[in-house]
Structure 1
Amino acid sequence: MLTDNHGRTISYLRLAVTDRCNLRCFYCMPEHGLDWLSRTELMSNAEMLRICSLLVKMGIDKIRITGGEPFVRKDIMELLTSLSQLKGLKDLSITTNGILTAPFVPQLKALGVKSVNLSLDTLDANRFFTITRRDEFDAVMLTLDTLLSHGIEVKINTVVMAGKNTQDIPALVALTKDRPVSVRFIEEMPFNGEGHDYSGVLWNHLHILQEIKNLYPDLQKTTDTQFSTAYNYQVPGHTGSVGIIAAYSRTFCGTCNRIRLTPSGMLKNCLYDDGVLNIKDHLRAGTNDEQLEQILLKAFNNREIDGWAAAEKRIASPNESMASIGG
């Protein structure tokens, strides 16, 4: 078992394979996009597979592929195929915006991908365009239907934003009535790439919960899994469930079991830290696996107690993009 200096288990890697995305969601990046990493700045498939293999041997048993948008990376299926074959890896999952995903769903099923997180902030096509600056709503809904038809668990990730999509909360909760989906409402975070105001404080997890309870007074609390970042609920009689993630309030830090690798190879012990070491640089400098394991263990034994402590030590601007952090 891999643990940190606070006795917390580390078993979950979020691996961002690219910073590029085919949407321009205003809460994630500027309208014109970002200064994308060059191909040489990105980790190669071989580099990602090597570090993932080592981390699985050390105790990581869950890997989630994120971005940017993972499916804009041309060789993503090659990487997923290799990762699915790692001995000791119990859970390989993906977070996607769903635009390019539908054609790959049968392959994902065959590889053993059991869960996909689908980013969807509204069920209204016009608001979708306003939020994402792209007309791709139908493609995302096709991916949702395709995933469900193949029996893949779907968690819908909805960032709650004042003045943008709070009116969508009723429709999104209603989506769980007849569909086996988990709709997770997420507090907005400050990582929008340009520093505009965000609503993580106003629409915090308590406000979101009260909004749902106003609609469904009989909302029932369900059991949260050991490392869950969401507070989970169910409307009686509904097939699916509802979750609320206190991403800005950071109420789940005490049980955090995750680490992150950015597209450029930066290890992050916490979403809110600057990054603690660049693994890609060590790989390219010829560091062997035994040396790399010791370097990683040292980093894991210097994790901050929570996201607030990590943020206090930041040097970089807190207004970087989630696409560059790894969603």
Structure 2
Amino acid sequence: MLIDSYDRVVDYIRVSVTERCNFRCQYCMPEKPFSWVPKENLLSFEELFEFMKVAIDEGVKKIRITGGEPLLREDLDKFIKMIYDYAPDVDLAMTTNAFLLKGTAQKLKDAGLKRINVSIDTLKPEVAQAIAGKDVLKNVLEGVDEALKVGLKVKANMVPMKGMNADEISDVLEYCKARDITVRFIEYMENAYAKAGISKLSGQEALDELSKKYSFVSEGYDGASPAKYYKMDDGYRFGIIEPYGDDFCKQCNRIRLTAEGQLIPCLYFDEAMSIAESVKRGDIKGAAAVLKEVVRTKPEKNRWGGEDDEVSTRAFYETGG
């Protein structure tokens, strides 16, 4: 079992398989050129899998595949099957923008993927193009439909931004509700790579707006999830993720691994340790020692909303959200 210095059990790892992305979202990486890390700098799926075995053996129960956009990495289903065959009880999920999902959902499901999270920031094509930097909405929604069709569980994430898509939170909720998809409204996380001038809709503002149309009650946090959940009169549940809140980090159970082997203890911070050298030379004990040290040094909380700093220099496209 992995326990940090604040007595939090760390049993969840997010694994980025690429920093490449086919979107240029305003809140993530709008100005980054369409480039990529040389293939030789990336850990192979076999090398990533060797570390996944270490993590699972040390107590990790949930693995989420992220990017960048993970579906841009060829043969992703083979990596998923490696993990599933080793530990079929592990909660194996993926975060994707869904642009390429229509043609891959069945293959991913067959490989052992259980769940996906998809960004649905708008239901308007022109707004989707403004946010993502290209015409994406049709492909995204078709990808979601295909995922549901093949039996993948789906959650949706929306980042409401004033003057852009904040007026659509009820529409997105209704879209998700009609498909039995849980939606989570995520406060925009200020970071050095996002477009300047984004104005977030706070969690409380989202709740105030939704309360004009719906009745709901708070159910609080659901285990170690970063979302606070709310239950509507008809039983539908939606979530609010507030990284600026004082209690956001209290139940954090996750660490992150980049495609180049950097193991990161917190989404906000740049600090990391590399497992690449250990994995490449087959030093399982060395990789396990790095894992334990990263967990031991996991910070208590992020600094969003704090006095020291409110803008993270973390490149989210390297680690997922």
Task: Settle same-fold status: TM greater than 0.5.
Answer: yes
| Residue 212 (structure 2) pairs with residue 214 (structure 1) | yes
- Distance, in Å, in 2 between the alignment partners of 1:26 and 1:184 is 19
Which of 31-40 and 84-93 deviates more? 31-40
How far did residue 229 of structure 1 move? 0.8
How far did residue 222 of structure 1 move? 3.4
5+ residue gaps, structure 1: none
Whether the aligned pair in 1 keeps the contact of 2:261 and 2:275 (CA below 8 Å) is: yes
- Distance, in Å, in 2 between the alignment partners of 1:173 and 1:31 is 30
| Residue 26 (structure 2) pairs with residue 26 (structure 1) | yes
**Matched residue, 1:318:** 312
Q: Which amino acid aligns with 2:9?
A: T
How far did residue 193 of structure 1 move? 1.7
**Matched residue, 1:225:** 222
Whether the aligned pair in 1 keeps the contact of 2:27 and 2:195 (CA below 8 Å) is: no
- Distance, in Å, in 1 between the alignment partners of 2:318 and 2:112 is 27
Write the mapping of 1:210-289 to structure 2, written as runs, cut at 5 A: 210-216=208-214, 218-222=215-219, 224-237=221-234, 240-249=236-245, 251-284=247-280, 286=281, 288-289=283-284
- Distance, in Å, in 1 between the alignment partners of 2:88 and 2:8 is 20
Write the mapping of 1:134-145 to structure 2, written as runs, cut at 5 A: 134-145=134-145
Which of 4-13 and 273-282 deviates more? 273-282
Q: Are the structure 2 counterparts of residues 34 and 274 from structure 1 closer, same or farther at C-alpha, using a change threshold of 3 Å?
A: farther
- Distance, in Å, in 1 between the alignment partners of 2:250 and 2:199 is 24
Whether the aligned pair in 1 keeps the contact of 2:123 and 2:172 (CA below 8 Å) is: yes
Whether the aligned pair in 1 keeps the contact of 2:101 and 2:144 (CA below 8 Å) is: no
**Matched residue, 2:303:** 308
- Distance, in Å, in 2 between the alignment partners of 1:192 and 1:125 is 27
Cα deviation, 1:282-322, whole Å, max 9, x if unaligned, reads: 333x361123212321221122111129x9999xx834532
Q: Are the structure 2 counterparts of residues 313 and 54 from structure 1 closer, same or farther at C-alpha, using a change threshold of 3 Å?
A: farther
Helix, strand or coil at the partner of 1:142? helix
How far did residue 54 of structure 1 move? 0.5
**Matched residue, 1:293:** 288
Q: How well do the aligned residues superpose, as a CA RMSD in angstroms?
A: 2.3
How far did residue 103 of structure 1 move? 1.7
Alignment length (residue pairs): 319
How far did residue 112 of structure 1 move? 3.2
- Distance, in Å, in 1 between the alignment partners of 2:263 and 2:302 is 15
Q: Are the structure 2 counterparts of residues 194 and 123 from structure 1 closer, same or farther at C-alpha, using a change threshold of 3 Å?
A: closer
From 202, 205, 221, give the equivalent of 2:203: 205
Superposition TM-score, scaled by structure 1 size: 0.90
Q: Are the structure 2 counterparts of residues 77 and 34 from structure 1 closer, same or farther at C-alpha, using a change threshold of 3 Å?
A: same
Q: Which amino acid aligns with 1:205?
A: G
Helix, strand or coil at the partner of 1:232? strand
How far did residue 48 of structure 1 move? 0.6
Cα deviation, 1:54-73, whole Å, max 9, x if unaligned, reads: 00000001100000000010
Identity %: 32
Whether the aligned pair in 2 keeps the contact of 1:266 and 1:275 (CA below 8 Å) is: no
